[in-house]
């Protein structure tokens, strides 16, 4: 009786680019395909047996069998490859990729920072709402210095999300662009130098980067889980859209945040953050960074239940501490 030949494992790729921290799966595969002078569809179909998978599909929820094939070709663990997609950020960044399992009320009202929950107007999100994910084609953004310094251009996963304004490494603003990794980069602006990020924006984006990298964030009071940071930030974006009249005495703090930015954009009242255009999203993210900076300096009060997380520990001035203090020279 003839024995069945043993199944041979898939051959390893002789060369493949190293994965970059935070890189999108589609970006890495574009760079891999370019190393063999192939297009990404050609690599997926002829080498991996998958076709009709778009870049958006790779960066959202890649098929498990594709991840297994990629692991066999590259030696990278499937879980590591999955973390290069939005599916790998569940449940930290969002509760689920399934819109039916995403609750607007739970995600944006589980915490409160500037305002008590009852001071915010109720909202009815559009069908299919998911936190941080625009309903249409996202605005592709990138760090000019990251791409200029790279031998082969690559894109980070979060650059397609309205989650950060700046690059924490270079402290400059991300810019809209058209980029096909390892092929070309085209910038929307003609400026040669990137725009430096303000200190509040750089500080906020550094925390978001820490959440994505380490799974935790260091706040003034203590470290919190990455999921707490993303929900605190999304809560703050929603609070900043509250009408000043409804906010009551807390409206003074909201007004002070918007005065720092030259006035209030009234259009932000009507739609959830994810439904706004990118310029309005950028304005709201800048307002969130401004609010966090004002809270940490004690300029405004974080009157919500969890606002103390953004407030430094109070300095003790008890009589015992004063007695132990050295005499003033």
What's phi and psi for 66, nearest 5 deg? -65, -40
Per-domain residue ranges of the chain: 25-89, 107-301
pLDDT digits (tens, 9 = 90+) for 208-226: 999 999 999 999 999 999 9
Kindly report the average pLDDT of the chain as a whole number: 87
Q: C-alpha dihedral over 90, 22, 190, 204, to 10 degrees?
A: 70
The average pLDDT across 195-214 equals: 97
Rg for the chain (alpha carbons), in Å? 23
Say what the pLDDT of residue 51 is. 84
Whether the per-residue pLDDT at 267 is higher than 80: the answer is: no
The average pLDDT across 248-277 equals: 78
Say what the pLDDT of residue 321 is. 44
Biggest CA pair distance of the chain: 99
pLDDT digits (tens, 9 = 90+) for 78-89: 999 999 999 999
3-state secondary structure at position 216? strand
Whether the per-residue pLDDT at 5 is higher than 80: the answer is: no
How many Cβ atoms sit within 10 Å of the Cβ of residue 258? 18
pLDDT digits (tens, 9 = 90+) for 151-191: 788 999 999 999 999 999 999 999 999 988 888 889 988 88
pLDDT-derived band at 325, boundaries 50, 70, 90: very low
| CA distances for 149 relative to 94, 145, 274, 291, angstroms | 32, 6, 31, 33
**Helix %, strand %, coil % of the chain (to 5):** 45, 10, 45
The rounded distance, in Å, linking the Cα atoms of 280 and 292 is: 18
3-state secondary structure at position 208? helix
User: Tokens at residue 326, please?
Assistant: 């050295």
Whether the per-residue pLDDT at 297 is higher than 50: the answer is: yes
pLDDT digits (tens, 9 = 90+) for 39-64: 999 999 989 988 889 999 999 999 99
Say what the pLDDT of residue 315 is. 60
pLDDT digits (tens, 9 = 90+) for 89-133: 999 999 999 999 999 999 999 999 998 877 777 777 888 999 999
The average pLDDT across 237-266 equals: 77
Whether the per-residue pLDDT at 206 is higher than 90: the answer is: yes
The pTM assigned to this predicted structure is 0.89
Angle (CA) 207-209-214 rounded to 5° is 90
């Amino acid at each position: 009786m003839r024995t069945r030949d043993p199944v041979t494992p898939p051959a390893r790729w002789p060369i493949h680019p190293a994965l970059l921290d935070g890189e999108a799966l589609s970006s890495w595969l574009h760079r891999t395909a370019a190393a063999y002078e192939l297009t990404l569809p050609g690599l997926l179909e002829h080498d991996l047996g998958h076709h009709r998978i778009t870049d958006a599909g790779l960066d959202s929820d890649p098929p498990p069998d594709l991840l297994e094939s990629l692991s066999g070709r590259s030696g990278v663990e499937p879980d590591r490859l999955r973390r290069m997609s939005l599916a790998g950020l569940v449940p930290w960044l969002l509760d689920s990729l399934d819109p039916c399992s995403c609750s607007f009320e739970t995600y944006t009202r589980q915490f409160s920072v500037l305002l008590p929950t009852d001071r915010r107007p109720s909202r009815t999100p559009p069908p299919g709402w998911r936190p941080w994910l625009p309903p249409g084609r996202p605005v592709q953004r990138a760090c000019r210095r990251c791409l200029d310094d790279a031998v082969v251009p690559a894109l980070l996963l979060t650059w397609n999300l309205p989650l950060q304004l700046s690059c924490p490494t270079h402290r400059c603003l991300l810019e809209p662009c058209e980029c096909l990794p390892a092929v070309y980069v085209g910038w929307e602006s003609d400026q040669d130098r990137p725009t430096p990020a303000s200190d509040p924006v750089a500080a906020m984006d550094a925390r978001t980067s820490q959440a994505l990298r380490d799974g935790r964030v260091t706040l003034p009071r203590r470290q919190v889980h990455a999921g707490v940071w993303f929900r605190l930030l999304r809560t703050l974006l929603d609070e900043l859209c509250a009408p000043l009249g409804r906010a009551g005495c807390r409206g003074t703090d909201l007004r002070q945040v918007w005065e720092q930015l030259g006035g209030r954009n009234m259009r932000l009242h009507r739609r959830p953050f994810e439904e706004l255009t990118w310029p309005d999203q950028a304005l709201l993210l800048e307002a969130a960074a401004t609010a966090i900076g004002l809270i940490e300096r004690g300029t405004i009060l974080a009157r919500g239940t969890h606002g103390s997380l953004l407030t430094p520990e109070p300095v003790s001035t008890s009589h015992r501490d004063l007695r132990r203090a050295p005499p003033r020279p």
